[in-house]
């Protein structure tokens, strides 16, 4: 992976994506320029166009699940890979201009994923308020500063950046929510395995038939490869056509993972490789007996000996 001097992120400053970009920059030991973009799509477009070297975007949330815009961009368009990941705790405050009381609030600006995580709090404390969906939580805070809305649901740092007061801290309906962010890059040779890695793929069925998804899962299962996430997304064709985005434990250089991917390539219409990178949420499980790299090597030598001499 080349040095990343320019990183796009879902802006403006003060979003969780901004915090994730700072964290990933520290992981990579780079002090590059962080450039805010108005949407996930525009950040990824800038990466594909070569205007930036990487893009930091949200991939999934522990409460709301996957971020469709990110999954769809990775499933289509020119190939990109995940270079790194990070996980951030999600804390939301109710932010207002100084002097605003709760009774003054008629309009609240926030991002759809944030609204879903504070919905019950808002219904129970401010049922009279109308919630407006905006492109980012920090963008909502900035709009409150500019007088466009009465309040915003945003991270505390956005309140600091835009000189807003917090009427309520950490108001999420589910405590301990976490968002996973990924650093996207144009394709490069995979880094060496670390022993605690994750590989991401997008898989397209060759044809829809009974057991099609089971066939995919069995290629991983019979080789002892654990899946950590699977999502279905429409292919944008006709109703009922889906692709599957899959995260699995391990690295493409691991024999069991590489062999699974090669098997999928034989039976699927397309397999899009989205990278092998160090996992940041826990520890990879033990490799089952007979699924280690040495076992694959020994089996290949055994088979070659029979083919060559008729005996093992």
Domain boundary residue among 134, 168, 202? 168
pLDDT of res. 2 = 57
Within this chain, do residues 163 and 254 fall inside the same structural domain, yes or no?
A: no
Instruction: Say whether pLDDT at 206 is over 90.
Output: no
Within this chain, do residues 53 and 183 fall inside the same structural domain, yes or no?
A: yes
Confidence of residue 200 (pLDDT cuts 50, 70, 90): very high
**Average pLDDT of the chain to the nearest whole number:** 92
Within this chain, do residues 290 and 194 fall inside the same structural domain, yes or no?
A: yes
pLDDT of res. 31 = 61
SS3 of residue 84 by DSSP:
strand
pLDDT of res. 101 = 93
What span, in angstroms and rounded, lies between the C-alpha atoms of 163 and 166?
Answer: 10
pLDDT of res. 113 = 84
Q: Convert the pLDDT of each residue in 149-181 to its tens digit.
A: 999 999 999 999 999 999 999 999 988 889 999
Q: How many domains does the chain have?
A: 3
Confidence of residue 185 (pLDDT cuts 50, 70, 90): very high
DSSP one-letter code for 75: H
Instruction: Say whether pLDDT at 196 is over 80.
Output: yes
Report phi then psi at 222, rounded to 5. -70, -20
pLDDT of res. 237 = 75
**Using an 8 Å Cβ cutoff, are 25 and 34 in contact?**
yes
Q: What residues pair up with 204 in beta bridges, in sequence order?
A: 243, 270
Within this chain, do residues 183 and 206 fall inside the same structural domain, yes or no?
A: no
Structure tokens at 167: 């009427």
Within this chain, do residues 54 and 97 fall inside the same structural domain, yes or no?
A: no
Q: What is the CATH number of the domain that holds 62?
A: 3.40.190.10
Instruction: Say whether pLDDT at 1 is over 80.
Output: no
How far lies 249's CA from each of 59, 63, 197, 211, in Å?
Answer: 17, 22, 6, 23
Sign of CA dihedral 64, 66, 67, 69: negative
Q: Read out DSSP for 180-198?
A: EEEEEES--PPPPP-SSEE
pLDDT of res. 247 = 97
Within this chain, do residues 181 and 234 fall inside the same structural domain, yes or no?
A: no
Within this chain, do residues 181 and 62 fall inside the same structural domain, yes or no?
A: yes
∠ CA(115), CA(91), CA(52), 5° rounding? 85
Confidence of residue 285 (pLDDT cuts 50, 70, 90): confident
Instruction: Say whether pLDDT at 236 is over 60.
Output: yes
When pLDDT is averaged across residues 180-198 and rounded to a whole number, the result is 96
Domain range for 21: 1-89+177-188
Within this chain, do residues 61 and 111 fall inside the same structural domain, yes or no?
A: no
Within this chain, do residues 32 and 81 fall inside the same structural domain, yes or no?
A: yes
Domain boundary residue among 135, 168, 201? 168
Q: Convert the pLDDT of each residue in 38-96 to its tens digit.
A: 899 999 999 999 999 999 999 998 888 899 999 999 999 999 999 999 999 989 999 99
Confidence of residue 28 (pLDDT cuts 50, 70, 90): confident
**Using an 8 Å Cβ cutoff, are 256 and 287 in contact?**
yes
When pLDDT is averaged across residues 224-247 and rounded to a whole number, the result is 89
Four-CA torsion 207, 210, 216, 218, nearest 10 degrees: -150
Domain boundary residue among 188, 220, 244? 188
Give the gyration radius of the chain's Cα atoms: 23
Burial class of residue 6 (count of CB atoms within 10 Å of its CB; 0-12, 13-18, 19+): middle
Confidence of residue 210 (pLDDT cuts 50, 70, 90): confident
Q: What element of type H or E holds 55?
A: strand 54-61
pTM of the model: 0.88
């Amino acid at each position: 992976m080349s040095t990343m001097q320019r990183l796009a992120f879902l802006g403006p400053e003060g979003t969780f994506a901004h915090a994730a970009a700072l964290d990933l920059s520290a992981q990579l030991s780079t002090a590059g320029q962080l450039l805010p973009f108005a949407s996930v799509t525009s950040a990824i477009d800038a990466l594909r166009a070569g205007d930036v070297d990487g893009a930091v975007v949200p991939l999934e949330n522990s409460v709301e699940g996957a971020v469709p815009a990110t999954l769809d961009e990775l499933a289509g368009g020119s190939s990109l890979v995940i270079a790194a990941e990070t996980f951030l705790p999600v804390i939301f405050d109710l932010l207002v201009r100084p002097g605003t009381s709760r009774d003054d609030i008629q309009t609240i600006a926030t991002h759809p994923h944030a609204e879903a995580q504070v919905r019950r709090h808002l219904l129970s404390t401010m049922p009279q308020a109308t919630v407006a969906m905006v492109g980012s939580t920090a963008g909502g805070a900035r709009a409150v500063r500019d007088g466009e809305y009465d309040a915003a649901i945003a991270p505390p740092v956005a309140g600091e950046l835009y000189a807003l007061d917090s009427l309520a801290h950490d108001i999420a309906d589910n405590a301990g929510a976490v968002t996973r962010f990924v650093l996207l890059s144009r394709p490069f040779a995979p880094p060496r395995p670390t022993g605690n890695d994750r590989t991401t793929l997008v898989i397209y069925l060759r044809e829809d038939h009974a057991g099609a998804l089971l066939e995919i899962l069995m290629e991983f299962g019979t080789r002892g490869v654990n899946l950590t996430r699977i999502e279905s997304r429409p292919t944008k064709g006709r109703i009922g056509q889906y692709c599957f985005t899959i995260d699995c434990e391990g690295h493409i250089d691991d024999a069991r993972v590489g062999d699974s991917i090669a098997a999928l390539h034989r039976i699927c219409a397309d397999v899009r490789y989205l990278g092998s990178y160090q996992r940041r949420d826990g520890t990879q499980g033990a490799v089952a007996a007979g699924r280690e790299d040495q076992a694959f090597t020994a089996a290949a030598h055994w088979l070659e000996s029979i083919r060559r001499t008729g005996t093992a």
